[in-house]
Amino acid sequence: MRVCSLVKRPSEKVIKICIDLSVSREGRCVVEGVQVTGDFFAERPERIDRFIESVRGADAAGVDWVRLIRELAADSRIYGVSDSSLEELGASVSKAVRKACGGGTLA
Amino acid sequence: MRRIRLVIDEGPPHYQMAVDEAILLLRGAGVSPDTLRLYVFNPSSVTIGYFQSLRESVNLSYVKEAGIPVVRRVSGGGSVYHDSCGEVTYAVILPAGDLPSDYVESFKLICEGVVRAARKLGCNARFAPLNDVVSADGRKFSGSAQARRLGAVLQHGTFMYATDVETLARCLSVPKGKYSESDVVNAIMRRVTTVSACAGRPVSRGEAIQALREGFAEALDAELVEGRYLPAELELAKSLAWKYRSGEWLELRP
Protein backbone atom coordinates (compact mmCIF):
# COMPACT_ATOMS: atom_id res chain seq x y z
CA MET A 1 0.00 0.00 0.00
CA ARG A 2 1.02 3.63 -0.53
CA VAL A 3 0.81 6.46 2.01
CA CYS A 4 1.33 10.08 0.94
CA SER A 5 1.72 13.37 2.82
CA LEU A 6 2.22 16.84 1.45
CA VAL A 7 2.52 20.40 2.66
CA LYS A 8 1.61 23.53 0.73
CA ARG A 9 1.56 26.92 2.35
CA PRO A 10 0.88 30.21 0.52
CA SER A 11 4.06 31.61 -1.07
CA GLU A 12 5.87 28.33 -0.44
CA LYS A 13 6.54 25.43 -2.78
CA VAL A 14 4.86 22.02 -2.62
CA ILE A 15 6.71 19.03 -1.25
CA LYS A 16 5.09 15.60 -1.19
CA ILE A 17 6.39 12.29 0.12
CA CYS A 18 4.82 8.96 -0.81
CA ILE A 19 5.95 5.72 0.81
CA ASP A 20 5.18 2.29 -0.59
CA LEU A 21 4.82 -0.26 2.19
CA SER A 22 4.65 -4.03 2.22
CA VAL A 23 4.64 -6.81 4.81
CA SER A 24 7.74 -8.95 5.19
CA ARG A 25 7.62 -12.70 5.78
CA GLU A 26 8.24 -11.95 9.47
CA GLY A 27 5.19 -9.69 9.48
CA ARG A 28 7.14 -6.43 9.62
CA CYS A 29 5.97 -3.26 7.84
CA VAL A 30 8.71 -2.63 5.26
CA VAL A 31 9.53 0.42 3.10
CA GLU A 32 9.38 -0.77 -0.52
CA GLY A 33 10.03 2.62 -2.06
CA VAL A 34 9.84 6.38 -1.48
CA GLN A 35 8.92 9.15 -3.90
CA VAL A 36 9.74 12.78 -3.09
CA THR A 37 7.99 15.15 -5.50
CA GLY A 38 6.97 18.80 -5.77
CA ASP A 39 7.96 22.14 -7.24
CA PHE A 40 10.55 22.94 -4.57
CA PHE A 41 14.27 23.56 -5.20
CA ALA A 42 17.34 21.80 -3.85
CA GLU A 43 21.01 22.64 -4.16
CA ARG A 44 22.03 18.98 -3.98
CA PRO A 45 19.21 17.03 -5.64
CA GLU A 46 21.29 13.85 -5.84
CA ARG A 47 21.14 13.61 -2.02
CA ILE A 48 17.37 13.17 -2.25
CA ASP A 49 17.79 10.22 -4.61
CA ARG A 50 20.42 8.78 -2.24
CA PHE A 51 17.99 9.17 0.68
CA ILE A 52 15.38 7.18 -1.24
CA GLU A 53 17.84 4.33 -1.66
CA SER A 54 18.92 4.47 1.98
CA VAL A 55 15.46 3.83 3.43
CA ARG A 56 14.44 1.08 0.99
CA GLY A 57 13.93 -2.14 2.95
CA ALA A 58 13.82 -0.40 6.35
CA ASP A 59 11.32 -1.25 9.07
CA ALA A 60 8.85 1.63 8.43
CA ALA A 61 7.52 1.76 11.97
CA GLY A 62 11.05 1.95 13.36
CA VAL A 63 12.10 4.95 11.26
CA ASP A 64 12.14 8.40 12.90
CA TRP A 65 10.56 10.15 9.90
CA VAL A 66 10.61 13.62 11.48
CA ARG A 67 14.36 13.44 12.07
CA LEU A 68 14.99 11.81 8.69
CA ILE A 69 13.13 14.50 6.73
CA ARG A 70 14.82 17.24 8.75
CA GLU A 71 18.22 15.75 7.92
CA LEU A 72 17.27 15.20 4.30
CA ALA A 73 16.26 18.86 3.90
CA ALA A 74 19.52 20.06 5.45
CA ASP A 75 21.69 17.61 3.51
CA SER A 76 20.12 18.30 0.11
CA ARG A 77 19.69 22.02 0.93
CA ILE A 78 16.03 22.22 0.03
CA TYR A 79 14.73 25.74 -0.51
CA GLY A 80 11.33 27.18 -1.26
CA VAL A 81 9.85 25.30 1.71
CA SER A 82 10.18 26.63 5.27
CA ASP A 83 11.65 24.63 8.16
CA SER A 84 8.28 24.62 9.90
CA SER A 85 6.60 23.15 6.81
CA LEU A 86 9.24 20.42 6.66
CA GLU A 87 8.64 19.65 10.36
CA GLU A 88 4.91 19.46 9.62
CA LEU A 89 5.62 17.11 6.69
CA GLY A 90 7.76 14.86 8.89
CA ALA A 91 5.02 14.65 11.52
CA SER A 92 2.41 13.96 8.86
CA VAL A 93 4.49 11.17 7.25
CA SER A 94 5.14 9.65 10.67
CA LYS A 95 1.44 9.65 11.51
CA ALA A 96 0.45 8.19 8.13
CA VAL A 97 3.03 5.40 8.43
CA ARG A 98 1.98 4.58 12.03
CA LYS A 99 -1.65 4.42 10.94
CA ALA A 100 -0.86 2.19 7.97
CA CYS A 101 1.49 -0.07 9.87
CA GLY A 102 -0.55 -0.34 13.06
CA GLY A 103 1.58 -2.17 15.61
CA GLY A 104 4.42 -2.71 13.14
CA THR A 105 2.53 -4.75 10.57
CA LEU A 106 0.28 -3.32 7.89
CA ALA A 107 -3.09 -2.42 9.40
CA MET B 1 30.52 47.07 -15.07
CA ARG B 2 30.67 43.32 -15.74
CA ARG B 3 30.57 41.76 -19.19
CA ILE B 4 28.08 39.01 -19.86
CA ARG B 5 27.95 36.92 -23.02
CA LEU B 6 24.56 37.07 -24.74
CA VAL B 7 23.41 34.22 -26.97
CA ILE B 8 20.07 34.28 -28.79
CA ASP B 9 18.85 30.87 -29.84
CA GLU B 10 15.93 28.77 -31.04
CA GLY B 11 15.52 24.99 -31.02
CA PRO B 12 13.84 21.88 -29.61
CA PRO B 13 13.40 21.33 -25.86
CA HIS B 14 16.04 18.62 -25.30
CA TYR B 15 18.62 20.87 -26.99
CA GLN B 16 17.67 23.96 -24.95
CA MET B 17 17.84 22.07 -21.65
CA ALA B 18 21.12 20.41 -22.59
CA VAL B 19 22.73 23.75 -23.48
CA ASP B 20 21.56 25.32 -20.19
CA GLU B 21 23.00 22.43 -18.17
CA ALA B 22 26.25 22.35 -20.17
CA ILE B 23 26.91 26.05 -19.55
CA LEU B 24 25.99 25.65 -15.86
CA LEU B 25 28.52 22.82 -15.42
CA LEU B 26 31.22 24.53 -17.46
CA ARG B 27 30.68 27.86 -15.69
CA GLY B 28 31.17 25.96 -12.43
CA ALA B 29 34.37 24.48 -13.86
CA GLY B 30 35.60 27.94 -14.84
CA VAL B 31 35.39 27.27 -18.59
CA SER B 32 32.27 29.15 -19.64
CA PRO B 33 31.84 32.89 -19.23
CA ASP B 34 28.92 34.53 -17.39
CA THR B 35 26.05 34.07 -19.81
CA LEU B 36 22.57 35.29 -20.65
CA ARG B 37 20.66 33.11 -23.11
CA LEU B 38 17.42 34.30 -24.70
CA TYR B 39 15.78 31.45 -26.54
CA VAL B 40 12.62 30.13 -28.08
CA PHE B 41 11.38 26.55 -27.82
CA ASN B 42 10.58 25.29 -31.30
CA PRO B 43 8.31 23.35 -31.38
CA SER B 44 6.16 24.58 -28.49
CA SER B 45 6.98 22.35 -25.50
CA VAL B 46 6.23 21.63 -21.87
CA THR B 47 9.01 21.44 -19.28
CA ILE B 48 8.57 20.08 -15.78
CA GLY B 49 10.64 20.64 -12.65
CA TYR B 50 13.31 18.14 -11.61
CA PHE B 51 11.29 16.95 -8.61
CA GLN B 52 7.85 16.91 -10.19
CA SER B 53 5.77 13.84 -10.78
CA LEU B 54 5.18 13.62 -14.54
CA ARG B 55 1.59 12.44 -14.23
CA GLU B 56 0.70 14.92 -11.49
CA SER B 57 2.05 17.94 -13.35
CA VAL B 58 1.16 17.41 -17.02
CA ASN B 59 -2.10 16.56 -18.78
CA LEU B 60 -0.47 13.71 -20.68
CA SER B 61 -3.48 12.81 -22.81
CA TYR B 62 -3.77 16.41 -24.03
CA VAL B 63 -0.07 16.93 -24.85
CA LYS B 64 0.08 13.56 -26.63
CA GLU B 65 -2.93 14.44 -28.73
CA ALA B 66 -1.57 17.94 -29.48
CA GLY B 67 1.93 16.62 -30.26
CA ILE B 68 3.58 18.79 -27.62
CA PRO B 69 6.90 17.33 -26.37
CA VAL B 70 7.55 17.18 -22.61
CA VAL B 71 11.03 17.42 -21.09
CA ARG B 72 12.17 17.27 -17.45
CA ARG B 73 14.44 20.15 -16.43
CA VAL B 74 17.56 20.01 -14.29
CA SER B 75 16.08 22.85 -12.21
CA GLY B 76 13.32 22.63 -9.62
CA GLY B 77 10.05 24.55 -9.87
CA GLY B 78 6.80 23.81 -11.64
CA SER B 79 5.55 22.78 -15.06
CA VAL B 80 5.74 25.34 -17.88
CA TYR B 81 4.24 25.64 -21.34
CA HIS B 82 6.71 27.26 -23.76
CA ASP B 83 4.74 28.67 -26.69
CA SER B 84 7.00 28.99 -29.75
CA CYS B 85 4.92 31.95 -30.96
CA GLY B 86 4.39 33.70 -27.63
CA GLU B 87 7.17 33.04 -25.16
CA VAL B 88 10.89 33.77 -24.84
CA THR B 89 12.87 31.86 -22.21
CA TYR B 90 15.81 33.49 -20.48
CA ALA B 91 18.70 31.68 -18.80
CA VAL B 92 21.25 33.47 -16.63
CA ILE B 93 24.36 31.52 -15.59
CA LEU B 94 26.57 33.19 -12.99
CA PRO B 95 28.86 32.19 -10.12
CA ALA B 96 26.85 31.64 -6.93
CA GLY B 97 29.19 34.04 -5.14
CA ASP B 98 27.98 36.89 -7.36
CA LEU B 99 24.41 36.49 -6.10
CA PRO B 100 22.89 37.17 -2.68
CA SER B 101 23.16 34.14 -0.39
CA ASP B 102 19.45 34.45 0.46
CA TYR B 103 17.48 32.48 -2.14
CA VAL B 104 14.56 34.92 -2.35
CA GLU B 105 17.00 37.78 -2.90
CA SER B 106 18.87 35.81 -5.59
CA PHE B 107 15.61 35.14 -7.47
CA LYS B 108 14.61 38.78 -7.03
CA LEU B 109 17.89 40.14 -8.40
CA ILE B 110 17.67 38.13 -11.63
CA CYS B 111 13.89 38.54 -11.98
CA GLU B 112 14.50 42.29 -11.91
CA GLY B 113 15.62 41.88 -15.54
CA VAL B 114 12.16 40.51 -16.39
CA VAL B 115 10.39 43.23 -14.39
CA ARG B 116 12.32 45.95 -16.22
CA ALA B 117 11.71 44.32 -19.62
CA ALA B 118 7.95 44.18 -19.00
CA ARG B 119 7.87 47.80 -17.85
CA LYS B 120 9.69 48.89 -21.01
CA LEU B 121 6.87 47.28 -22.98
CA GLY B 122 4.20 49.11 -20.99
CA CYS B 123 3.28 46.42 -18.44
CA ASN B 124 3.40 47.55 -14.82
CA ALA B 125 5.14 44.47 -13.43
CA ARG B 126 6.48 43.43 -10.04
CA PHE B 127 8.40 40.54 -8.49
CA ALA B 128 6.23 38.09 -6.50
CA PRO B 129 8.28 35.85 -4.18
CA LEU B 130 9.58 33.24 -4.47
CA ASN B 131 10.05 33.07 -8.22
CA ASP B 132 7.31 34.82 -10.20
CA VAL B 133 6.81 38.14 -11.97
CA VAL B 134 3.22 39.37 -12.09
CA SER B 135 1.13 42.23 -13.48
CA ALA B 136 -0.27 44.98 -11.24
CA ASP B 137 -3.39 42.87 -10.64
CA GLY B 138 -1.28 39.91 -9.52
CA ARG B 139 -1.55 37.73 -12.63
CA LYS B 140 1.57 35.78 -13.53
CA PHE B 141 3.37 36.11 -16.85
CA SER B 142 6.80 34.89 -15.81
CA GLY B 143 8.02 32.06 -13.59
CA SER B 144 11.64 31.14 -12.89
CA ALA B 145 13.58 28.16 -11.62
CA GLN B 146 17.10 27.60 -10.34
CA ALA B 147 19.68 24.84 -10.36
CA ARG B 148 23.03 25.09 -8.58
CA ARG B 149 26.11 23.02 -9.44
CA LEU B 150 29.85 23.35 -8.73
CA GLY B 151 29.45 26.87 -7.32
CA ALA B 152 27.48 28.17 -10.31
CA VAL B 153 23.82 29.11 -10.57
CA LEU B 154 21.49 28.62 -13.52
CA GLN B 155 18.29 30.62 -13.31
CA HIS B 156 15.98 30.18 -16.26
CA GLY B 157 12.47 31.44 -16.67
CA THR B 158 9.65 32.40 -18.95
CA PHE B 159 8.65 35.69 -20.51
CA MET B 160 5.14 35.14 -21.87
CA TYR B 161 4.68 38.05 -24.23
CA ALA B 162 1.79 36.49 -26.17
CA THR B 163 1.39 32.90 -24.97
CA ASP B 164 -1.79 31.05 -25.87
CA VAL B 165 -3.03 30.88 -22.27
CA GLU B 166 -5.80 28.41 -23.03
CA THR B 167 -3.31 25.88 -24.44
CA LEU B 168 -1.07 26.52 -21.43
CA ALA B 169 -3.97 25.73 -19.09
CA ARG B 170 -4.87 22.56 -20.98
CA CYS B 171 -1.29 21.26 -20.79
CA LEU B 172 -1.27 21.29 -17.01
CA SER B 173 -2.50 18.29 -15.08
CA VAL B 174 -6.08 18.23 -13.89
CA PRO B 175 -6.64 16.74 -10.42
CA LYS B 176 -9.18 13.97 -10.67
CA GLY B 177 -12.49 14.21 -8.87
CA LYS B 178 -12.95 17.57 -7.20
CA TYR B 179 -12.95 19.86 -10.25
CA SER B 180 -13.96 19.39 -13.87
CA GLU B 181 -11.29 20.00 -16.51
CA SER B 182 -13.02 23.19 -17.69
CA ASP B 183 -13.12 24.57 -14.12
CA VAL B 184 -9.38 24.03 -13.75
CA VAL B 185 -8.62 25.55 -17.17
CA ASN B 186 -10.73 28.61 -16.29
CA ALA B 187 -9.05 28.95 -12.89
CA ILE B 188 -5.58 28.85 -14.46
CA MET B 189 -6.60 31.37 -17.14
CA ARG B 190 -7.74 33.79 -14.40
CA ARG B 191 -4.36 33.57 -12.66
CA VAL B 192 -2.16 33.87 -15.76
CA THR B 193 -1.69 36.69 -18.25
CA THR B 194 0.71 37.81 -20.99
CA VAL B 195 2.81 40.93 -21.39
CA SER B 196 0.65 41.88 -24.39
CA ALA B 197 -2.56 41.67 -22.32
CA CYS B 198 -0.90 43.52 -19.44
CA ALA B 199 0.40 46.28 -21.74
CA GLY B 200 -2.89 46.51 -23.63
CA ARG B 201 -1.22 46.12 -27.03
CA PRO B 202 0.32 43.30 -29.08
CA VAL B 203 3.99 42.69 -28.27
CA SER B 204 6.15 40.94 -30.88
CA ARG B 205 8.98 38.45 -30.31
CA GLY B 206 11.52 41.02 -31.51
CA GLU B 207 10.25 43.61 -29.03
CA ALA B 208 10.26 41.05 -26.22
CA ILE B 209 13.88 40.05 -26.92
CA GLN B 210 15.03 43.67 -27.16
CA ALA B 211 13.27 44.57 -23.90
CA LEU B 212 14.84 41.54 -22.15
CA ARG B 213 18.31 42.53 -23.39
CA GLU B 214 17.89 46.02 -21.98
CA GLY B 215 16.19 44.83 -18.81
CA PHE B 216 18.90 42.32 -17.91
CA ALA B 217 21.72 44.72 -18.79
CA GLU B 218 20.25 47.22 -16.30
CA ALA B 219 19.32 44.70 -13.60
CA LEU B 220 22.70 42.96 -13.65
CA ASP B 221 24.61 46.22 -14.27
CA ALA B 222 26.27 44.50 -17.21
CA GLU B 223 27.44 45.09 -20.72
CA LEU B 224 25.92 42.33 -22.84
CA VAL B 225 28.28 41.13 -25.55
CA GLU B 226 26.61 39.02 -28.23
CA GLY B 227 28.59 35.83 -28.72
CA ARG B 228 28.57 32.15 -29.64
CA TYR B 229 28.80 28.92 -27.69
CA LEU B 230 32.25 27.48 -27.03
CA PRO B 231 33.06 24.17 -28.77
CA ALA B 232 33.29 22.55 -25.30
CA GLU B 233 29.78 23.76 -24.46
CA LEU B 234 28.36 22.35 -27.68
CA GLU B 235 30.17 19.06 -27.17
CA LEU B 236 28.89 18.68 -23.62
CA ALA B 237 25.39 19.75 -24.65
CA LYS B 238 25.41 17.10 -27.35
CA SER B 239 26.26 14.40 -24.85
CA LEU B 240 23.66 15.71 -22.36
CA ALA B 241 20.92 15.86 -24.98
CA TRP B 242 20.47 12.04 -24.87
CA LYS B 243 19.39 12.36 -21.24
CA TYR B 244 16.74 14.95 -22.04
CA ARG B 245 15.43 12.80 -24.88
CA SER B 246 15.25 9.66 -22.78
CA GLY B 247 12.09 8.23 -21.28
CA GLU B 248 14.08 7.23 -18.20
CA TRP B 249 14.88 10.86 -17.39
CA LEU B 250 11.32 12.02 -18.12
CA GLU B 251 9.87 9.25 -15.95
CA LEU B 252 12.39 9.83 -13.15
CA ARG B 253 9.39 10.60 -10.96
CA PRO B 254 6.41 9.03 -12.74
Euclidean distance between CA atoms B79 and B153, whole angstroms: 20
Identity of the amino acid at B206: G
Angle between helices B231-245 and B13-28 (to 10 degrees): 130
Length of chain A: 107
Measured at the CA of B10, the angle between CA B48 and CA B191, to 5 degrees, comes to: 45
Average pLDDT of chain A, as a whole number:
90
Put simply, the chain B residues between 146 and 165 with a CB less than 8 A from any chain A CB are 146-148
Q: Is the pLDDT of residue B175 over 90?
A: no
Interchain pair B146, A41: CB under 8 A: yes
pTM (predicted TM-score): 0.93
Strands (E), A1-107: 2-7, 15-23, 29-38, 41-42, 78-79
Interface test with A, best of B51, B154, B250 (most A CBs within 10 A): B51
Q: Could you say which of 3.40.50.150, 3.40.50.720, 3.40.640.10, 3.30.390.50 is the CATH number of the domain covering A2-101?
A: 3.30.390.50
CA distance A39 to chain B (A): 4
Interchain pair B51, A45: CB under 8 A: yes
CA distance B76 to chain A (A): 5
Give per-residue pLDDT as tens, B95-120: 999 999 999 999 999 999 999 999 99
Q: Touching check for A11 and chain B: CB below 8 Å? A: yes
Euclidean distance between CA atoms A92 and A98, whole angstroms: 10
CA A60 to chain centre: 10
Domains contained in chain B, CATH given:
2-250 (3.30.930.10)
CA distance B134 to chain A (A): 13
Residues of A in contact with B253 (CB under 8 A): 35-37
Q: What is the pLDDT of residue B178?
A: 54
Mean pLDDT score, A18-40: 92
Average pLDDT of chain B, as a whole number:
95
Share of chain B above pLDDT 90, in %: 92
Q: In what order do the strands lie in the sheet with B70-72?
A: B70-72, B45-48, B80-82
Are residues A69 and A91 in contact, defined by beta-carbon separation less than 8 angstroms?
A: no
Q: What is the pLDDT of residue A103?
A: 58
Mean pLDDT score, B247-251: 97
Give per-residue pLDDT as tens, A50-81: 888 889 999 998 899 999 999 999 999 999 99
Q: What is the pLDDT of residue B34?
A: 98
Are residues B245 and B23 in contact, defined by beta-carbon separation less than 8 angstroms?
A: no
Map out the domains of chain A as residue ranges. Answer: 2-101
Number of separate helices (H) and strands (E) present in chain A: 3, 5
Q: Which of B213, B110, B117 is nearest to B160 (CA)?
A: B117
CA distance A53 to chain B (A): 14
Backbone angles phi, psi at B222, to 5 degrees: -130, 150
Q: What is the pLDDT of residue A36?
A: 95
Where residue A80 falls (left for φ over 0; alpha for ψ -120 to 50; beta otherwise) is: left
Q: Which of B140, B147, B154, B133 is nearest to B49 (CA)?
A: B147
Q: Touching check for B167 and chain A: CB below 8 Å? A: no
